[in-house]
Amino acid sequence: MDIKPIEPGAKELRDMYYFMRLGRAIEERLELEYKGGKLPGAIYLGRGQEAIEVGASYALEQGDVLAPAHRDMISQLPRGLTAREVFTNHYARANSLTRGKGEANYQGDLKRGLFATVSMLPDFYPVATGAALAFKLRGEKRVAMPLCGEGATSRGDFHESLNIASVLNLPVVFVVINNGFAYSTPPYKEMKLSDVAERAHAYAIPGVVVDGNNIIECYLEVKKAVERARDGGGPTLLEAKTLRMRGHAGHDAAKYMSKELVEEWAQKDPIERFEKHLTNQGLLDETGIKDMTGRVTQEVAEALKFAEESPYPEGQEAVTDVYRQ
């Protein structure tokens, strides 16, 4: 069954551009704050991954669910996560989505179809598979999409999820963001395969490789897989090839990444590529780029100020909400 992709229109393209720019602006600010010692905890940046983060997430419909991993804050923006929510959570404030109980990007909101990740990866592969099972049992045309990196595909639950989703023909789109390193470990030390997507063949499901820095390709291929899943066609494993342009976390200077490698991928920057595309389409010009810079800079500044002025939780909140009463 081949589903014809739905080409994104001008509105969709502009939306996606905004989310990529907002994501990068938030992360640049987080990096500054982290280096200035202003954050209580860690940062996990997805710089360089904006195309797949936004493209995959934007391909979902309302009612679908997304299970991002620790690095995937940017994927949450198209589903309604705000800059304020990113900063209040990083700043561990009482009014954050986790009320100071979960770190960094570990927030979620089921009303917006966003799962709150944990550090063990890919724990949300089975969880999203279970969400898809619930959709199927209730006859709902909804799709679940977990994200993980190539590193997590070595784990057993990655394979258990693909296998069971295949056996039960569940509406899941498994997205692997192959960003070149599992912390410091390159893929050749983790697997003999050159494409993670080849793992799909073991489970008799489609395996798709996309250019993770090309947002149009990311969006169209994910959309195809999403609609296929929605129509009862079962799961897909989709691998987006990209490079994580920062270390694993804020403290990691990533000396294991060669200058040449980083330079090579800087040339493929997903935002600059998309800007060229939009300019060629007549949807963007120099003024438009500048205006967007102004818009996201202001949004980030406002959100940061809001977080800094927000109160911390009271100490005794440490013991609330352990159980649903």
Residues near another protein, by CB under 8 A? 65, 97-98, 101-102, 106-110, 115-116, 118-120, 123-135, 137, 144, 156-157, 160-161, 163-164, 167-168, 321-324
Among residues 293, 248, 300, 250, the alpha carbon closest in space to that of 85 is found at: 300
Lookup result for tokens 């010009």: 285
Q: Helices (DSSP H) in 94-238: which residue ranges?
A: 124-137, 156-167, 215-230
Distance CA(266)–CA(79), nearest Å, equals: 27
Report in angstroms how near the CB of residue 137 gets to another protein at its nearest: 6
Instruction: Tell me, yes or no, if 256 is annotated catalytic.
Output: yes
Q: Which is nearer to another protein, 117 or 179 (CB)?
A: 117
Q: Which is nearer to another protein, 39 or 144 (CB)?
A: 144
Distance CA(190)–CA(196), nearest Å, equals: 11
Instruction: Tell me, yes or no, if 295 is annotated catalytic.
Output: no
Report in angstroms how near the CB of residue 91 gets to another protein at its nearest: 16
Give residue 100's Cα distance to chain centre: 22
* Contact partners, residue 259, CB within 8 Å, separation at least 6: none
Report in angstroms how near the CB of residue 223 gets to another protein at its nearest: 23
Any idea what DSSP says for residue 77? G
Instruction: Tell me, yes or no, if 244 is annotated catalytic.
Output: yes
Q: Which is nearer to another protein, 193 or 318 (CB)?
A: 318
Pick the catalytic residue: 155, 256, 273, 295? 256
Give me the sheet containing 207-211, strands edge to edge.
65-67, 144-149, 173-178, 236-241, 207-211
Q: Which is nearer to another protein, 189 or 324 (CB)?
A: 324
Report in angstroms how near the CB of residue 283 gets to another protein at its nearest: 37
Pick the catalytic residue: 71, 93, 244, 246? 244
List the catalytic residues: 244, 248, 256
